[in-house]
Amino acid sequence: MRKGMFALAAAGLLATGSMAACGDDSGSDSGSTGGAAVGKVGVILPDTASSQRWGTDDPKFLKAAFDAAGVAVDIQNAQGDKSQFQTIADGMISSGVKVLMIVNLDSGTGKAVLDKAKAAGIATIDYDRLTLNGGANYYVSFDNVAVGKLQGEGLVKCLTDMKASKPVVAELNGSPTDNNATLFKEGYDSVLKPKYDAGEYVKGPDQSVPDWDNAQAGTIFEQMLTEKKDIKGVLAANDGLGNAVISVLKKNKLNGKVPVTGQDATVQGLQNILAGDQCMTVYKAIKQEADAAADLAISLAKGQKKDVAQTITDPESKAAVPSVLLPPKSIFKDSVKDVVADGFVTKEQLCTGDFAKLCTDNGVS
């Protein structure tokens, strides 16, 4: 399969302009283009603990795009600290950034930062997570209800393949302060609830994990399994939570016998799938997301307004937010190779040690 198989035509994402991406979590600046003065862009990422993407993928792809466009950028990570998030934002605002792009830690903190930016005449972009009642100029993410729907459908497929009869399904949801987690749950519950209502599945424990914390996820799932020993399927909202579940299942010699979902197509998640311990993950082509957000930010930094093809309704303010929403893709054992072919994960990263043979057996090249 050719590299870039998941790429979308730029015209389908943004009405005008080309896609680019880039960023630097060290806070270094890129250059600037000739002609009219081009403003600087500030980017605040949330943490490096909840998902590998925030420490590696997004900074890399964002940096590449801004560098390619010759636009100065300052990318920093709040490391899960709300006070630090606000401190970083204050510094960027006082430094005179023209555009501020944030991945909020929660909507309250995010809104406070967006309000300050707007008061200073700075254009704003919600990246990956919508800040409820935040009033950002743009929102760039994936179709997060679709992500959840793919997770629900994936779990159904795996339970069906295992010929499970009236399985008890546990749900391990993302952080209650992350609007994306709410959207994921909306998606997978739209698939699972009809199964519960029809008596085909039995609804088991259903709990959110504060701050997407993987250690807490393990503790929560261990309690779930203690209280409900006959859990036969787990809807875990991302690969990190899924791996926490798998660790508990391994201790109880249940790994591979209880299908577990995920999201993000992390190296760990893909290895768990190859090993048969994880049912599926959802691949989100982060480079596309970074490119789309950078393209908007670059236009705003140049003083140009960009038209986009979609809007979403903020569930709190009811305002229409101009949005770019990208499509996700389900990944099962037979399609792990597609993530490698797309360049998101390398064979060298994935096919280490015991996974080398599993990669060969499953067509990873």
For residues 120 and 175, membership in a common domain is answered with no
Residue 3 lies in a domain: no
Q: Give me the pLDDT at residue 126, please.
A: 98
- Is residue 346 domain-shared with residue 357, that is, in the same domain? yes
Quick one: 105 and 251 in the same domain? no
63 has a pLDDT exceeding 50: yes
CB atoms within 10 A of CB 56: 14
pLDDT at 128 over 60: yes
Q: Are 119 and 226 contained in the same domain?
A: no
Same domain, residue pair 151 and 298:
no
Statement to judge: residues 128 and 201 lie in one domain = no
Q: Is residue 4 part of a domain?
A: no
Q: What is the dihedral of CA 44, 312, 240, 53, to 10 degrees?
A: -40
User: What pLDDT shows up at residue 19?
Assistant: 32
Quote the pLDDT of residue 36: 53
Tokens of 21: 């991406």
Average pLDDT estimate for 128-133: 98
Range of the domain at 214: 144-283+330-361
Q: Is residue 2 part of a domain?
A: no
Per-residue confidence at 38, pLDDT binned at 50, 70, 90? confident
Q: Are residues 197 and 346 in the same domain?
A: yes
What's the pLDDT at 331? 98
In tens, the pLDDT along 77-112 reads: 999 999 999 999 999 999 999 999 999 999 999 999
Report DSSP state, residue 277.
S
Is residue 121 included in any domain, yes or no? yes
- Whether residue 222 is found in the same domain as residue 243: yes
Predicted pLDDT at 3: 39
Containing H/E element for 246?
Answer: helix 239-251
pLDDT of 28 > 50? The answer is no
Q: Is 51 among the domain residues?
A: yes
* 38 located within any domain: yes
* 265-274 pLDDT, tens digit each: 999 999 999 9
**What distance in Å separates the CA atoms of residue 91 and residue 352, rounded to the nearest whole number?**
42
Res. 45: pLDDT tops 70:
yes
| Each residue's pLDDT tens digit, 219-246 | 999 999 999 999 999 999 999 999 999 9
Instruction: Say yes or no: 136 and 59 in one domain.
Output: yes
Contact present, 185 and 171 (Cβ < 8 Å): yes
Q: How many domains does the chain have?
A: 2
Residues 6+ apart with CB under 8 A from 215: 244
- Which of 139, 146, 96 has its CA nearest to residue 306? 139
Task: Give the angle 285-302-288 at the CA atoms, nearest 5°.
Answer: 5
Arithmetic mean of pLDDT over the chain:
91
CATH code of the domain covering residue 272: 3.40.50.2300
Q: How far is CA 177 from the centre of its chain?
A: 15
277 and 302 share one domain? no
- Domain contains 193: yes
pLDDT one-digit tens code per residue, 155-204: 999 999 999 999 999 999 999 999 999 999 999 999 999 999 999 999 99
Residue 5 lies in a domain: no
> pLDDT by residue (tens digit) across 280-308?
999 999 999 999 999 999 999 999 988 99
Average pLDDT rounded to a whole number, residues 109-131: 98
Query: Locate tokens 């466009």: which residue?
Result: 69
Percent of the chain with pLDDT over 70: 90
